[in-house]
Homo-oligomer: A and B are copies of this chain.
Amino acid sequence: MPLDLIDSDPASAPDRPERPGRPGRRRDHSRDPEILDAAIEVLAEEGYDGMTMEMVAARAKAGKATLYRRWPSKGELVVDAVACMKSRDLDLDNLPDTGTLRGDLVAMIKPRTLEEADRKMQVMAGLMSVLSRSPELVEAINAAIVAPRAEVNRRLIERAIARGEISADIDVNVLALVAPSMTAYRLLVTQRPVDREYLLSIIDGIVLPAVGLRAPRA
């Protein structure tokens, strides 16, 4: 089970420039996105150990040699793929603002978001057994999957505090993790779906009561 994700080059940015011209010139990295997307797909379906470089190449309609021309090993391709999985479903600069904490939290429940969360959790599950051996993977996952979701909740809660809706005497850091933790647990551990109903039961059964608010009468 070799992993050697040493990746000793701290200057390697996870962000890649968009394709400059249309076709290739010099070092052409224009096909990187397709390959990284393919890697994420295979990762979600098969897990790290089940993923083979041939699967990724086939899915991206590329040759295996092409993968190795860009990434020195399977491990580094995976780290890169995860790092480039940045949230397209969450936009921190464009959060809902309904005037109430419950309204904001409920407004975050969108099919698109649920779907993205599910996909990310699949990827996470596939990488779980490898995490303890790869700090850079932990970091990549944290930045791409974990942190954004907690940050959304933190902002919504802080806004509710700022407008005086809820007490400032609240452990925001822990509270912001309730929903992400419980959805991850449900998806990963108990293998049951996270749907609107489950999220509402977390919001109305835990989060709102914990800050002294009540759900509207049904």
Are B206 and A178 in touch, CB under 8 angstroms? yes
A18 interface hit (Cβ, 8 Å): no
Residues of B within 8 A of A182 (CB): 174, 177-178, 181-182
A175 CB to closest chain B CB, in angstroms? 7
Given contacts A1-B46, A47-B130, A191-B132, contact A202 B184 (CB under 8 A): no
Interface 0/1 of A183-207, CB less than 8 Å to B: 0111011110000000001101110
- Interface-facing stretch out of A7-15, A22-30, A120-128: A120-128
In chain A between 121 and 145, which residues have their CB closer than 8 angstroms to a CB of chain B? 122, 124-132, 138, 141-142
Are A129 and B131 in touch, CB under 8 angstroms? no
- Interface-facing stretch out of A57-65, A83-91, A102-110, A209-217: A209-217
A159 CB to closest chain B CB, in angstroms? 19
A201 CB to closest chain B CB, in angstroms? 5
Of B48, B132, B170, B178, the contact of A129 (CB 8 Å cutoff): B48
Looking at A180, A186, A206, the one whose CB has the most chain B CB atoms below 10 A away is A206
Residues of B within 8 A of A93 (CB): none
Of B49, B177, B209, the contact of A1 (CB 8 Å cutoff): B49
A166 CB to closest chain B CB, in angstroms? 11
27 A–B contacts from the bound complex (CB under 8 Å): A1-B46, A1-B50, A47-B49, A47-B128, A49-B49, A49-B50, A49-B129, A122-B132, A125-B128, A125-B132, A126-B128, A128-B188, A131-B188, A131-B191, A170-B205, A171-B204, A174-B205, A174-B206, A177-B182, A177-B185, A178-B206, A181-B181, A184-B184, A188-B188, A205-B210, A209-B211, A209-B212
Known: A1-B50, A47-B129, A175-B205. 18 other contacts (CB 8 A): A1-B49, A124-B189, A125-B128, A125-B131, A125-B132, A128-B129, A131-B188, A146-B190, A171-B204, A174-B205, A174-B206, A177-B182, A177-B185, A180-B185, A184-B185, A185-B185, A206-B210, A209-B210
